Amino acid sequence: MTARTLQGFMELLPQEQLVFNHMKSVIAHTYEKFGFAPLDTPVLELAEVLLSKSGGETEKQIYEFTRGDTNLAMRFDLTVPLAKYVALYNNDLTFPFKRYQIGKVYRGERPQKGRFREFYQCDIDIIDRDELNIVYDAEVLAVIYTIFSELKLPAFKIYINNRKLLSGYLEHLEIADKTVDVLRLVDKIKKIPEEAFLEELKKLGLPEEKNSQLLKFIKINGLNNEVIKQLENLNVEKENFVTGLGELKIVIETAQKLGMPEENIQIDLSITRGLDYYTGTVYETFFDEYPQFGSVCSGGRYDNLSSVFMDKKFPGVGISIGLTRLFDQLRANNLLPIKALTPNKALIITQGEEFISEAVKLAGNLRKSDIAVDVMYRQCKFKKKMEYANKIGVPYLIIIGEEEANSKKYALKDMSSGEQMSLTVDDLIEKLK
């Protein structure tokens, strides 16, 4: 039998897994710091529940199978399970309901570079009944900013927009009947040349004058306060526009009060994030020097989470980080934030079988003080032991021989500087803490 792992399923070596887990735990920890409670829904759900509101593309990719007379499916995102969860338990939940979920999702895509069939999504959502305060949209911005700052990744920028602005502006231009087509085009604007964009607009049968106004609108840029001023100066009076601008102002002002640097947040009127789901604020996050990674954290505000399952209205705002893909891209570009080879702070080696029990005792003491240590029980030449310590990349080596066992002062070797000290247990603990 040949051991094989399925294509499109990421499987890491321990030293990579440590980095992956570090990133995962920075994300989880930040989510908790912002008051989000963890959630963990099943990987398997009734197929009819998962497919209740999905379109054609997703349906083709879903892993679905029958067991007895039940159609089962593996979740393809964490949003539909959340909608189900809120519908099922809303009487037991306290609103606003702030939850995070970090888990694997499944899509049976054709395997290709950078595409995974099993991948981690790291989601937050804030859901309320009937109405959700706009300040949460700024809080979500702060969450994205905090995570990407703490991950120590390349320079990043969060692009923000409010979908009501474009809708309102199209009403203002009296071409609101073309909203769906225009939104689809705007979504593409960064990928096609300006002429091609105008050409496509023309094809929609829109008068040239309106097209150039639209292009000018989408291209409004500058510092965030300047963009807002330019938007105000347009004097558009449509309700959608006025509301959207008011919301965007609150989000940007709050971000500024929270001390988020201007260079990390940019209003971009061309960000639309698909067609149906989002209704207000939308976010995308790009690395300044690596636009080819695509958006590494996206999301937005929606009017109703669970319309398929419920009559009641649950508006929300949320984001998702596709961690597996992000990790894969960072790794391929040598951008992983830390280099860890072992979870251990120190490795204990002994100069002979007879000191193993001393090593075991010392390891027990260090672990009681919450210091991760490993012991090498195998006896071999000192050189071999050093080779092993280097290979696993442990920062400190503790050596126990005759002298150390008698004096209860242990030799501690700093593996990077080569420096060696002789320390009591208490000093060791203090040093390694």
Contacts with its own copies in 55-84 (CB under 8 A)? 63, 65, 67, 70, 72, 74, 83-84
- Residue 9 DSSP class: B
Specify whether the CB–CB gap between 138 and 259 falls below 8 A. no
**Judged by CB, which is closer to its own copies: 140, or 170?**
140
What character string, x for contact with its own copies (CB under 8 A) and - otherwise, covers 297-316?
---------x-xxx------
Residue 36 binds to its own copies (criterion: CB under 8 A) = yes
What character string, x for contact with its own copies (CB under 8 A) and - otherwise, covers 82-111?
-xxx-xxx--xxx-xxxx----x-x-x---
Specify whether the CB–CB gap between 250 and 136 falls below 8 A. no
Order of strands across the sheet with 316-322? 37-38, 97-106, 118-127, 316-322, 298-302, 278-287, 156-162, 265-267
Residue 115 binds to its own copies (criterion: CB under 8 A) = no
Applying CB under 8 A, which of residues 190, 202, 203, 367 lies at the interface with its own copies? Answer: 367
**Judged by CB, which is closer to its own copies: 32, or 288?**
32
Applying CB under 8 A, which of residues 258, 275, 332, 338 lies at the interface with its own copies? Answer: 258
Residue 215 binds to its own copies (criterion: CB under 8 A) = no
Specify whether the CB–CB gap between 386 and 336 falls below 8 A. no
Specify whether the CB–CB gap between 119 and 104 falls below 8 A. yes
Applying CB under 8 A, which of residues 40, 57, 195, 209 lies at the interface with its own copies? Answer: 40
Shortest Cβ distance from residue 198 to its own copies (Å)? 41
Q: What dihedral angle (degrees, nearest 10) is formed by the CA atoms of 236, 239, 240, 241? A: 20
Specify whether the CB–CB gap between 140 and 126 falls below 8 A. yes
**Judged by CB, which is closer to its own copies: 310, or 423?**
310
Sites for its own copies among residues 189-208 (CB under 8 A): none
Sites for its own copies among residues 323-342 (CB under 8 A): 342
Cβ partners under 8 Å of residue 363, min gap 6: 348, 373, 374, 375
- First CA to last CA across the chain, in angstroms? 46
Shortest Cβ distance from residue 80 to its own copies (Å)? 10
**Judged by CB, which is closer to its own copies: 184, or 378?**
378
Pairing of strands 316-322, 298-302: antiparallel
**Judged by CB, which is closer to its own copies: 30, or 167?**
30
Residue 364 binds to its own copies (criterion: CB under 8 A) = yes
Shortest Cβ distance from residue 304 to its own copies (Å)? 14
Positive/negative CA dihedral, 417, 419, 424, 426: negative
Residue 33 binds to its own copies (criterion: CB under 8 A) = yes
Residue 277 binds to its own copies (criterion: CB under 8 A) = no
**Residue closest to 243 by CA, chosen among 178, 301, 163:** 163
Sole window of 205-213, 221-229, 252-260, 397-405 interacting with its own copies (rule: CB under 8 A): 252-260
**Judged by CB, which is closer to its own copies: 293, or 355?**
355
Applying CB under 8 A, which of residues 23, 26, 27, 49 lies at the interface with its own copies? Answer: 49
Residue 6 binds to its own copies (criterion: CB under 8 A) = yes
CA distance 124 to 101: 7
Applying CB under 8 A, which of residues 371, 397, 399, 428 lies at the interface with its own copies? Answer: 371
- Residue 340 DSSP class: -
User: For residue 358, what are its two tokens?
Assistant: 């001393």
**Judged by CB, which is closer to its own copies: 221, or 365?**
365
What character string, x for contact with its own copies (CB under 8 A) and - otherwise, covers 144-163?
--x-----------------
Pairing of strands 37-38, 298-302: unpaired
Q: What does each C-alpha distance from 74 to 10, 69, 191, 402 come to in angstroms?
A: 17, 17, 33, 58
**Judged by CB, which is closer to its own copies: 38, or 114?**
38
